[in-house]
């Protein structure tokens, strides 16, 4: 899930127009990832609900699964946010040296 499918070469300068298209790709990607994460955990919760385990164990496992769901979903968003910061044209002039520093602003 860490690889973002961004269609831009490493030596291409990012303009404001390019950046807007990239942001749309990032948004689409993060929504897809979050939907996938939520559907996987939905299936796990359904299996747990139908199991013959004691109610207290089901409750504890349900809380654990909910915590994991929130963490993974938030991580998908945070990775997309980090990528958007690294690619921001006002923060960076050239994509090739995006490792050095990038904006702390939200994108």
- How many whole angstroms separate alpha carbon 24 and alpha carbon 30? 10
User: Tens of pLDDT along the chain (107 residues)?
Assistant: 445 555 555 556 777 778 888 899 999 999 999 999 999 999 999 999 999 999 999 999 999 999 999 999 999 999 999 888 888 877 665 444 545 555 555 55
pLDDT at 45: 95
pLDDT at 62: 96
- How many whole angstroms separate alpha carbon 14 and alpha carbon 89? 6
CA-based R_g, the chain, Å? 19
Q: What is the DSSP letter of 49?
A: H
Q: What is the DSSP string of 67-92?
A: HHHHHHHHHHHHHHHHHHHHH-TTT-
Beta-carbon-side half-sphere exposure of residue 88 (alpha carbons within 13 Å): 15
pLDDT at 90: 72
């Amino acid at each position: 899930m860490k690889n973002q499918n961004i269609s831009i070469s490493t030596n291409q300068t990012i303009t404001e127009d390019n950046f807007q298209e990239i942001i749309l790709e990032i948004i689409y990607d993060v929504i897809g990832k979050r939907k996938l994460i939520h559907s996987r955990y939905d299936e796990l919760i359904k299996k747990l609900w139908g199991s013959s385990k004691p109610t207290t164990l089901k409750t504890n496992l349900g809380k654990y699964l909910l915590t994991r769901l929130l963490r993974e979903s938030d991580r998908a968003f945070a990775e997309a946010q980090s990528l958007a910061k690294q690619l921001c044209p006002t923060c960076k002039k050239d994509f090739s040296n995006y490792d050095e520093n990038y904006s702390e602003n939200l994108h």
